[in-house]
């Protein structure tokens, strides 16, 4: 069973301090392989001399030097190393020398999937990468998304989106098969390395979220089906790492091909590790809110329906921006569990949680351990209630963006919340308020129970966790009162009842107060993540209050 780990650092983000940058730590957690995300910035670049600008060329050389050191450190720790590579991506200066031959007709900013020259340059770059680092175990290929637009020396796009007179007749299945055959030829046949092809697509109806498309591809894939030098990788969710996702049914349509599942330890849409968010029961059993729409229920069930050969943990990273965590404890609970769950998909989540509390936090007091285990066990439902608007997500026809991006990374978009409230049925409004109240009650109880125990048995490490729970509590209180105020205002618009107006005022003032506590007080306490930010929160709430007079 492969056990891969990666730490994703986006271009332009500050460097993170993380225990998971230490390969010895990853090895101790049970991982056998490390995947280096930074090599996405070398996609399509055969060597630094392909970059004309001196400063950008130095950046590329520094990246190469850093990767070399990381490979040496990782191998010394006993880890195999895989490198990320994106297609279609080329050095921008290469493209400028042959715009008409490499890009779409009348769209010089898009590399054309029908261009043989573009693919040749792309896979020449991949060949050069493997030759530069011949000791790597393999390549993790991405073709449904790219970060090229964020790196000034690169130009590129996913293989699905371009549409011009030259490539418009080149269908989705043909594009995927074309890429995978060339990648297989370069990585597996030429260099005898393992190719892990990520099915991920950033837009709907690609290989990752369409079982129908996989069905048209699977018999055309390169290599022998039983050869684990070619592995397909899927997030366990149908689309992105959101809740309200069925289990990825495309992953079950691969006809016995080896697959691995991607698991995110630092949940990018749900506080990024600043709040407790225990993923093990969701990985093991799937999401309870979509059980009736899932073909399988969790990893154990999926392993009986597909040839599951490993797991791929995003131990840190995902999404864009904050919150930026200072204490990795809640992330570590998930990272600790990945390799153990990979060894036995039927492991008891409660026992895993208790093992983490005793082994990683060093908690010996049984009462304290019980409280921490309970916090972990309650957190999946608490997070679902806080970060999603259940009635909206349940009724949404598409699994994409179930929260309508009202919380994206560390940004609360109050106007998006208001749009969702306006779309709900009257008999759903009380459910919105009730789920937010339940989330607040859960985190308040957790914070209280841990605080009481620490007042009797002080522990500096666990006091940081209390600070994080206070941070979470004030955030959830702000979300609860914002939604309650918006629900009351919607009712006032119809009823013109003074009681609804007063309820609106009361809740929106409370939301503003809790938001100030979160951003100005709790977000700066030792051990907490950076506070959430807002867009249109103050404008919307103040505008509503002004309308009420």
Q: What is the pLDDT of residue 549?
A: 85
Confidence of residue 106 (pLDDT cuts 50, 70, 90): confident
Q: What is the pLDDT of residue 313?
A: 99
Q: 206-230 burial, b for 16+ CB within 10 Å, e for fewer?
A: bbbbbbebbebbbeebbbeeeeebb
Q: How, if at all, do strands 33-36 and 307-316 pair?
A: unpaired
Each residue's pLDDT tens digit, 225-263: 999 999 999 999 999 999 999 999 999 999 999 999 999
CB 445 within 8 A of CB 507: no
Secondary-structure percent of the chain, ordered helix, strand, coil, rounded to 5: 55, 15, 35
CB 446 within 8 A of CB 469: yes
Least confident range of 6-20, 32-46, 221-235: 6-20
Confidence of residue 16 (pLDDT cuts 50, 70, 90): confident
Q: Which residue in 115, 443, 55 sits closest to 277, CA to CA?
A: 443
- Across the range 429-434, mean pLDDT stands at 98
**How many other β-carbons are positioned within 10 Å of the β-carbon of residue 68?**
12
Q: What is the pLDDT of residue 173?
A: 98
Residues β-bridged to residue 142: 86, 198
Residue 293 exposure: Cα atoms within 13 Å on the Cβ side:
16
Residue 13 above 80 pLDDT?
no
Query: What percent of the chain has a predicted confidence (pLDDT) above 70?
Result: 100
Alpha-carbon separation of residue 4 from 342, 391, 510 (angstroms): 11, 36, 45
Phi/psi for 314 (5° steps) reads -85, 90
**Which residue reads 């125990």 in tokens?**
453
Q: How, if at all, do strands 89-91 and 154-156 pair?
A: antiparallel
> Which own/partner pairs from 499-506 qualify as long-range (CB within 8 Å, at least 24 positions apart)?
501/548, 504/544, 504/545, 504/548, 505/545, 505/548
Return residue ranges of the chain for CATH 3.20.20.80. Answer: 2-359
CB 189 within 8 A of CB 197: no
CB-neighbour burial class of residue 69 (10 A; exposed 0-12, middle 13-18, buried 19+): exposed
Residue 270 above 90 pLDDT?
yes
Instruction: Please tell me whether residue 43 adopts helix, strand or coil conformation.
Output: coil
DSSP string, 174-231: HHHHHHHHHHHIIIIIIT--EEEEEEEESSSSSTTT-HHHHHHHGGG-SS-TT-TTEE
Q: How, if at all, do strands 80-86 and 33-36 pair?
A: parallel
Each residue's pLDDT tens digit, 285-331: 999 999 999 999 999 999 999 999 999 999 999 988 899 999 999 99
Confidence of residue 15 (pLDDT cuts 50, 70, 90): confident
Domain at 2-359: CATH architecture: Alpha-Beta Barrel (3.20)
Q: Which residue in 505, 441, 440 sits closest to 477, CA to CA?
A: 440
Instruction: Please tell me whether residue 312 adopts helix, strand or coil conformation.
Output: strand
Both tokens assigned to 130: 């493997």
Peptide bond into 111 cis (omega under 30): no
Alpha-carbon separation of residue 22 from 34, 40, 327, 331 (angstroms): 10, 20, 16, 16
d(CA 19, CA 17) in angstroms, rounded, equals 7
- Across the range 106-111, mean pLDDT stands at 93
CB 115 within 8 A of CB 159: no
């Amino acid at each position: 069973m492969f056990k891969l780990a990666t730490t994703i650092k986006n271009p332009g983000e500050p460097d993170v301090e993380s225990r998971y940058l230490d390969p010895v730590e990853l090895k101790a957690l049970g991982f056998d392989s490390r995947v280096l995300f930074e090599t996405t910035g070398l996609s399509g670049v055969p060597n630094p001399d392909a970059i004309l600008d001196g400063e950008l060329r130095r950046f590329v050389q520094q990246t190469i030097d850093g990767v070399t050191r990381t490979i040496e450190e990782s191998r010394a720790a006993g880890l195999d190393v895989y490198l990320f590579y994106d297609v279609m991506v080329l050095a921008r200066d290469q493209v400028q020398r042959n715009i008409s031959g490499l890009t779409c007709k009348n769209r010089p900013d898009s590399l054309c999937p029908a261009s043989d020259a573009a693919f040749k340059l792309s896979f020449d770059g991949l060949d050069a990468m493997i030759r530069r680092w011949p000791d790597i175990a393999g390549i993790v290929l991405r073709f449904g998304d790219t970060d090229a637009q964020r790196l000034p020396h690169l130009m590129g796009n996913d293989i699905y989106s371009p549409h011009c007179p030259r490539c418009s007749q080149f269908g989705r299945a043909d594009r995927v098969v074309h890429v995978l055959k060339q990648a297989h030829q370069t990585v597996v046949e030429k260099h005898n390395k393992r190719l892990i092809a990520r099915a991920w697509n950033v837009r709907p109806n690609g290989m990752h979220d369409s079982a129908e498309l996989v069905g048209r591809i699977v018999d055309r894939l390169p290599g022998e089906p039983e050869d684990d030098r070619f592995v397909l990788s899927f997030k366990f969710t149908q689309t992105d790492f959101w809740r309200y996702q069925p289990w990825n049914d495309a992953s079950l349509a691969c006809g016995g091909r080896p697959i691995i599942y991607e698991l995110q330890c630092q949940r990018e849409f749900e506080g990024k590790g600043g709040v407790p968010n225990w993923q093990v029961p969701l990985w093991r059993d799937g999401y309870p809110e979509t059980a009736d729409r899932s073909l399988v229920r969790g990893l154990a069930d999926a392993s009986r329906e597909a040839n599951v050969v490993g797991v791929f943990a995003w131990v840190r990273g995902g999404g864009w921006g904050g919150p930026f965590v200072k204490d990795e404890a809640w992330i570590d609970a998930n990272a600790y569990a990945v390799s153990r769950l990979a060894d036995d998909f039927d492991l008891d989540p409660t026992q895993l949680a208790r093992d983490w509390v005793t082994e990683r936090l060093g908690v010996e007091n049984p009462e304290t351990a019980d409280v921490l285990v309970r916090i972990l066990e309650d957190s999946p439902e608490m997070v679902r209630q806080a970060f999603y608007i259940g009635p909206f997500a349940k009724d949404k026809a598409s699994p994409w963006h179930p929260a309508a991006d009202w919380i994206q990374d560390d940004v609360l978009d109050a106007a998006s919340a208001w749009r969702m409230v306006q779309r709900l049925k009257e008999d759903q409004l009380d459910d919105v308020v009730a789920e937010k109240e339940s989330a607040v009650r859960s985190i308040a109880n957790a914070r209280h129970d841990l605080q009481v125990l620490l007042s009797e048995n002080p522990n500096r490490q666990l006091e940081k966790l209390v600070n994080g729970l206070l941070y979470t509590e004030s955030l959830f209180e702000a979300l609860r009162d914002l939604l309650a105020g918006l629900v009351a205002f919607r009712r006032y618009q119809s009823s013109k009842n003074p009681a609804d107006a007063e309820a609106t005022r009361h809740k929106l003032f409370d939301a503003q107060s809790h938001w100030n506590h979160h951003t100005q007080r709790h977000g700066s306490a030792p051990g907490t993540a950076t506070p959430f930010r807002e867009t249109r929160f103050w404008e919307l709430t103040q505008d509503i209050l002004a309308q009420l007079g």
